[in-house]
Amino acid sequence: MANTLKLEKIKDRIYLVRGKKVMLDKDLAELYEVETGQLIRQVRRNIERFPGDFAYVLTKKELMNLRCQFGISSWGGRRYLPYVFTEQGIAMLSSVLNSKRAIEVNIQIMRAFVSLRRWVLSYESLRRKIEEMEKKYDGNFRIVFTTLKELMDPPPQKPRRVKGFKEYDE
């Protein structure tokens, strides 16, 4: 690919919604170098390829949460709620967009998802090792293990209230 996509650029566009890692339709359209409307038209024409665990439309509340979470005030004046695509939905997109660019971009996106999965596994592995060590050592090391746990699980942050946003019900 002439202008190779950086994995970090892709990883920054992967969000956690409904407990799944997803990407927004507008981000995918930008990566594929197509209009968002064109991407959505292709999805709707091939809707049987996109069951609910591959792609779905965000609710108003989910969209507001994303806006607040990332401090984004505008999503381009869209009239419709955005689609989000899971890893499997993104893989399916390359077949409905049917372009060389779509295939190349999908390869990079799949690599980003694999990289994130590896990171999560190594994080869990480190957590297990620390817990095993904690069982082995006596109370003298308690402060060390407490500090390590605090570093791995920072205290939950209080949700920020962003001025200018009104909370909507689904």
The pLDDT tens digits for 104-161 are 787 788 788 787 777 776 767 777 777 777 777 766 666 666 666 666 665 555 555 5
pLDDT tens column, 142-151: 666 666 666 6
Could you tell me if residue 107 is inside a domain?
Answer: yes
Confirm whether 124 is domain-assigned. no
Looking at the domain assignment, is residue 131 inside a domain?
no
Q: Which domain holds residue 37?
A: 7-119
3-state secondary structure of 17: strand
Instruction: Indicate whether 143 belongs to any domain.
Output: no
According to DSSP H, which parts of 47-166 are helical? 60-70, 87-97, 100-136, 142-152
Please indicate, yes or no, if residue 138 is contained in any of the structural domains: no
Whether residue 41 is contained in a domain is answered as yes
In a domain, 135, yes or no: no
pLDDT score at 158: 54
pLDDT of residue 102: 77
Domain count along the chain? 1
Alpha carbons 39 and 59: distance in angstroms, whole number: 19
Mean of per-residue pLDDT scores for the chain: 75
d(CA 152, CA 123): 9
Q: pTM of the prediction? A: 0.60
Q: What is the CATH number of the domain that holds 82?
A: 3.10.260
CA distance 118 to 112: 10
Listed as own residue / partner, the contacts of 74-78 with beta carbons closer than 8 Å and 24 or more positions apart are 75/26, 76/26
